[in-house]
């Protein structure tokens, strides 16, 4: 894919970029390697100061960055600005908490002193997607820099201006040159980078095929990898739930980011007793969504990021209806310029149709009916994905059952699934492995060194 900013509302090519030559890439690798030798000795105080400075820059220029995000990938400007604010919070949170998460931990043995020390590994490569073009990168970069590692970013090819803006933010914040660099390269250059002995580990957020490809190469070279891949999260609503709250949240959980979120609720699993009531209101709310120019404050749903995503989503909906699913609202691409798809709800989905196994990366909800929590959990677990799950009930036994039995990296009860700087994030099954954020996340890319002193 060419490295280019293309406005998803108009199809206009805003800017194109030449990928780095092999020589330029080598210079950046050399610089990262050299920088690590000194960066690893910087203090938490210095790193925290740089990241607090980065937070100041993000906050001061949030509208400017929000516009870049919206122009490149089409999310609503208000959500783009919120994403930038969230990155600022993340910087401040890790500036304060990373020294605690990475402090020596005592262990209790028969030695006179035993402890665990967390030391940086070196260059960490991040391969990132376009859907949260700031958040995904900061979620990697901030813990990476606080831990004393240096980062190389290969961002998605359709968000180069975001990629360059992020590198510039860290530069202006005072992060030493070479500690964080953006590489404008295509996906075909990733394998060689992973194999390079100077690159110590890699993290990829994106699709399953991309994750498989990177993990295979990293495995061959015995390098650690964190993978944050796709999801088809269940949103289970049981009869004791606060229905109005569940329905309002369901709409947001499905259509936020124009439906292109890994942890979006994608399969709505409803207990029969409330299924009709839920579905009726859910459809009403989908009909009321304003689709259009993401720059306008009244817009709820903007375009999909690329024409390919639009085509793929349309094919998935068609395959579902051909299999016998019913369209309750939407079900078509909008007859206008840009990558717009009508907010859609599918119901009466026959077993084996695409919503049972595939991720729908756009504003398409699939509704399923079940008799009880047992059936709900079985259906929730029947995909290959295992990222997040949202469960709505006020019955303590059902809450416990859901927490215990749902196969996912996160279960949120009476709340939509969120990525929050304070808690670990990641999946199981084909949604990937490893964690970002929280203590667990920041300790993914460190040498957990055991110290035994007799
Ligand atoms: P994608 O095509 O896999 O792209 C993601 C990144 O991987 C891009 O930088 C891409 O580069 C690169 N890439 C693609 N193929 C590669 C390969 N064979 N080897 C190495 N790198 C490769 O994913 P996407 O379509 O942009 O993103 C949507 C997917 O990401 C969805 O499945 C979504 O659920 C998932 N996602 C997961 C999370 C999570 O935290 N679990 C968060 C957000 C998104 P190019 O752009 O140059 O091709």
* 348 backbone φψ class: left, alpha, beta (φ>0; ψ -120 to 50): left
Q: What is the pLDDT of residues 179-224, one digit of tens each?
A: 999 999 999 999 999 999 999 999 999 999 999 999 999 999 999 9
Q: What is the pLDDT of residues 102-133, one digit of tens each?
A: 999 999 999 999 999 999 999 999 999 999 99
Residue 228 designated active-site: yes
Residue of 162, 262, 271, 359 marked active site: 262
Residues 303 and 340: beta-carbon distance below 8 Å: yes
* 215 alpha carbon – ligand 1 mean position (Å): 13
Model confidence at 48, pLDDT cuts 50, 70, 90, reads very high
Mean pLDDT of the chain: 98
- Both tokens assigned to 42: 């910087």
Q: What is the pLDDT of residues 277-306, one digit of tens each?
A: 999 999 999 999 999 999 999 999 999 999
Among 86, 187, 203, residue to substitute to test ligand 1 (most atoms within 8 Å of Cβ):
187
In short, whether 361's Cβ falls inside 6 Å of ligand 1 is yes
Model confidence at 88, pLDDT cuts 50, 70, 90, reads very high
In short, whether 207's Cβ falls inside 6 Å of ligand 1 is yes
**Residue corresponding to tokens 């019955």:** 395
Percent with pLDDT over 70 in the chain: 100
What residues have CB less than 8 Å from 15, skipping those under 6 apart? 4, 5, 160, 161
Q: What is the pLDDT of residues 251-278, one digit of tens each?
A: 999 999 999 999 999 999 999 999 999 9
Among 20, 206, 262, 360, residue to substitute to test ligand 1 (most atoms within 8 Å of Cβ):
206
* 92 alpha carbon – ligand 1 mean position (Å): 27
CA 436 to ligand 1: nearest atom: 40
Nearest-CA residue for atom 39 of ligand 1 = 228
Among 157, 207, 307, residue to substitute to test ligand 1 (most atoms within 8 Å of Cβ):
207
Neighbours of 93 (CB within 10 A): 18
In short, whether 213's Cβ falls inside 6 Å of ligand 1 is yes
Residue of 72, 83, 228, 358 marked active site: 228
Residues 62-77, mean pLDDT to the nearest whole number: 98
Q: Can you give the C-alpha Rg of the chain in angstroms?
A: 22
Strands 388-392 and 364-370: unpaired
For residue 44, what pLDDT is reported? 98
Q: Evaluate if residue 144 carries a pLDDT over 80.
A: yes
Residues 372 and 379: beta-carbon distance below 8 Å: no
For residue 414, what pLDDT is reported? 98
Residues 443-450, mean pLDDT to the nearest whole number: 98
Q: What is the pTM of this model?
A: 0.97
For residue 279, what pLDDT is reported? 98
CA 158 to ligand 1: nearest atom: 46
145-184 burial, b for 16+ CB within 10 Å, e for fewer?
A: bbbbbbbbbbbbbbbbbbbbbbbebbbebebbebbbbbbb
Nearest-CA residue for atom 9 of ligand 1 = 156
Q: What is the pLDDT of residues 156-166, one digit of tens each?
A: 999 999 999 99
* 158 backbone φψ class: left, alpha, beta (φ>0; ψ -120 to 50): alpha
For residue 195, what pLDDT is reported? 98
CA 427 to ligand 1: nearest atom: 41
Q: Evaluate if residue 1 carries a pLDDT over 90.
A: no
Residues 24-53, mean pLDDT to the nearest whole number: 98
For residue 115, what pLDDT is reported? 98
Q: Evaluate if residue 174 carries a pLDDT over 80.
A: yes
Model confidence at 81, pLDDT cuts 50, 70, 90, reads very high
Distance of CA 390 to the CA centre of its chain: 17
In short, whether 157's Cβ falls inside 6 Å of ligand 1 is yes
Distance of CA 366 to the CA centre of its chain: 21
Q: Domains of the chain, with CATH numbers?
A: 3-228+429-453 (3.40.605.10), 233-413 (3.40.309.10)
In short, whether 1's Cβ falls inside 6 Å of ligand 1 is yes
């Amino acid at each position: 894919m060419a490295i280019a900013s293309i406005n998803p509302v108009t199809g206009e090519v805003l800017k194109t970029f030449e990928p780095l030559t092999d020589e330029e890439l080598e210079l950046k690798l050399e610089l990262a390697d050299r920088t690590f030798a000194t960066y690893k000795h910087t203090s938490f105080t210095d790193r925290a100061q740089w990241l607090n400075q980065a937070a100041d820059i993000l906050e001061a220029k949030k509208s400017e960055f929000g516009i870049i995000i919206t122009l490149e990938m089409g999310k609503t400007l208000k959500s783009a600005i919120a994403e930038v604010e969230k990155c600022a919070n993340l910087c401040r949170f890790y500036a304060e908490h990373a020294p605690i998460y990475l402090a020596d931990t005592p262990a209790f043995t028969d030695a006179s002193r035993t402890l665990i020390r967390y030391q940086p590994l070196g260059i960490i490569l991040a391969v990132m997607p376009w859907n949260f073009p700031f958040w995904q990168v900061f979620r990697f970069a901030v813990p990476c820099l606080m831990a004393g590692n240096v980062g190389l970013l290969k961002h998605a090819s359709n968000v180069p201006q975001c990629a360059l803006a992020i590198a510039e933010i860290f530069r202006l914040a005072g992060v030493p040159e070479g500690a964080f660099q953006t590489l404008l390269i295509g996906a075909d250059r990733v394998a060689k980078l992973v194999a390079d002995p100077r690159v110590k580990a890699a993290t990829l957020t994106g699709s399953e095929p991309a994750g498989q490809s990177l993990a295979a190469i990293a495995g061959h070279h015995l390098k650690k990898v964190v993978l944050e891949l796709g999801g088809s999260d269940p949103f289970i609503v049981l009869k004791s739930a606060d229905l109005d709250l569940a329905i309002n949240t369901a709409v947001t959980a499905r259509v936020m980011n124009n439906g292109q979120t890994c942890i979006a609720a994608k399969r709505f699993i409803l207990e029969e007793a409330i299924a009709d009531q839920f579905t009726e209101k859910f459809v009403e709310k989908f009909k009321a969504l304003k689709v259009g120019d993401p720059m306008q404050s009244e817009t709820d749903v903007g375009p999909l990021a690329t024409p390919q995503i639009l085509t793929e989503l349309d094919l998935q909906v068609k395959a579902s209806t051909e299999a016998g699913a019913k369209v309750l609202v939407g079900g078509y691409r909008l007859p206008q310029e840009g990558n717009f798809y009508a907010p859609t709800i599918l119901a009466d989905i026959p077993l084996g149709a695409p919503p049972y196994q595939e991720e729908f990366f756009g504003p398409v909800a699939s509704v399923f009916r079940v008799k009880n929590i047992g059936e709900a959990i079985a259906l929730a677990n029947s995909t290959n994905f295992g990222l997040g799950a949202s469960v709505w009930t006020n019955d303590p036994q059902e809450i416990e059952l859901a927490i215990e039995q749902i196969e996912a990296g996160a279960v949120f009860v009476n709340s939509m699934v969120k990525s929050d700087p304070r808690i670990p994030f990641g999946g199981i099954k084909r949604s990937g492995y490893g964690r970002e954020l929280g203590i667990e996340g920041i300790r993914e890319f460190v040498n957990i060194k055991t110290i035994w002193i007799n």
